[in-house]
Amino acid sequence: MFHKLENIYGDVFEKSLIDDIKNIGINFVAKKGDILIDYGSYIKNTPLLLSGALKVLREDEDGREILLYFIEKGDTCAFSLSCCIGNKKSKIKVIAIEDSEIVFLPIQKIEKWLCKYHTWRNFVFNSYNSKMNEMLQAIDALAFMKMDERLYKLLTDKVKIMGNTILYNTHKEIAESLNTSRVVVSRLLKKLEKEGKLKLYRNKIKVLYG
């Protein structure tokens, strides 16, 4: 696991920071579908992702949810950073969408490193920045885009994250991410298939480019 850390973060972090992460970080392997951070729970660690992918979503009391953004390798979760530092309950839920290797870092260290390592400070700010942008996109999508566009955006985003044009999702799961009904998703997928943007299988969608 340590060589992955160096592969991914070697150019970003200075040597002594990498060593600190190795000494202090807690290695963790999440299976696909595992809930890493649940709504309402206190967060004491922030994840650095070495492989795999996570999704971050918002949920209301009735269990309705919308997808905020994905986390891929080399990313961290800006939300858990802010929750950590404020010692607040999580307002989000984080779920692994692939088997993922993660290093957890405790709050106290994260704060210390902000002063100690400028590369860490940059990393945190960049991470905030890019997640903020992705959330703006999510808001735009929610406010301005029609459901068929939102669906297609979700699929193409996920293809990018997974690095695979074949997605293993049921229509039901997709409907939950977009907070709509399964029937709507089925119909729109069918339409996209007719337009030649997709190919549908059971439990499986192939996204076509061109």
Partner DNA sequence: ACATTAATTGTGT
Partner DNA sequence: ACACAATTAATGT
- Sheet bearing 93-96, strands edge to edge: 35-37, 93-96, 53-59, 65-72
For DNA, the closer CB: 14 or 148: 148
- Interacting span for DNA (CB under 7 A) from 3-11, 25-33, 137-145, 170-178: 170-178
User: How many C-beta atoms surround the C-beta of residue 35 within 10 A?
Assistant: 12
Contacting residue, 82, 165, 184, 206, with DNA by CB under 7 A: 184
Q: Rule CB under 7 A: is residue 167 a binding residue for DNA?
A: no
For DNA, the closer CB: 43 or 96: 96
Contacting residue, 60, 181, 195, 208, with DNA by CB under 7 A: 181
- Sheet bearing 198-201, strands edge to edge: 166-167, 204-207, 198-201
Contacting residue, 11, 23, 143, 202, with DNA by CB under 7 A: 202
Q: Rule CB under 7 A: is residue 189 a binding residue for DNA?
A: yes
Q: What is the DSSP string of 28-74?
A: EEEPTT-EEE-TT-B--EEEEEEESEEEEEEE-TTS-EEEEEEEETT
Q: Rule CB under 7 A: is residue 183 a binding residue for DNA?
A: yes
Closest distance to DNA from the beta carbon of 197 (Å): 14
**Phi, psi dihedral angles at 105 (to 5 degrees):** -120, 130
> Which residues of this protein are in contact with DNA, per CB under 7 A?
170-172, 181-184, 186-187, 189-190, 200, 202-204
